[in-house]
Structure 1
Amino acid sequence: MSAATYAGNDFYCDVAIPRAVPLEVVHEDELVLAYHHTRPFWRVHVVVVPRRHIASFTTVGAADEPDVRALLEVVQRVARRVEEEHGAAAVLTNLGRYQDSKHLHVHVHSGPQRD
């Protein structure tokens, strides 16, 4: 299986977190994984994801607080580094129909969109 051929609905639980494909890891600990996107949409495109399945930003509850706190700390560090290195950074999460993979994840990106 490759990232390009994955046809499920939770790429992170099924592929990224168990490392079914090679990843260029930016950060990894017991709660969070951050890596360069396998199919980048921008020149710099890092995905930050909690290791434990959380469906979406809009489904986060009190029990998810440690995971979401850790996720946001990593997003902040990655965004700071991208901003320092490239002069700008954007932070984005998608919801509903915009969310291809039904697992909370945050994109940190910079630069023009790729073709």
Structure 2
Amino acid sequence: MSAESPLPPVVSAFLDAANARDTAAWLRTFAPDGAVDDWGRVFTGYEAVRGWSDAEFIGARVTLDVTEVSTGPGDEDVTVLAQVGGDGFNGPSHFTFTVREGLIGLMRITA
């Protein structure tokens, strides 16, 4: 997938919900056992993911400006490079999404 290619619908929904600060819509993009790996800290399941987001993502008024999109080998993972803004971390980060059955199984944040 190139930067011009569309994102999987669930990743687009994730980004739209995050930028709209819509926690309910954002959580619906995750599988029930979905996880966030935030620089090595892993939060699994809706309750843990929501707690992380309330403190460090949507609760920190995150904004995500996508600058690049790529896929991993075999197009199994989608990586979005985004400029992050808000009241928490600010700067570029890679968000790698593992999508299964139309939902996010894992979202990993790295440099």
TM-score by length of 1: 0.33
Structure with the largest fraction of strand: 2
Which has more helix, going by share of residues? 1
Which has the bigger relative contact order, CA under 8 A and spacing at least 6? 1
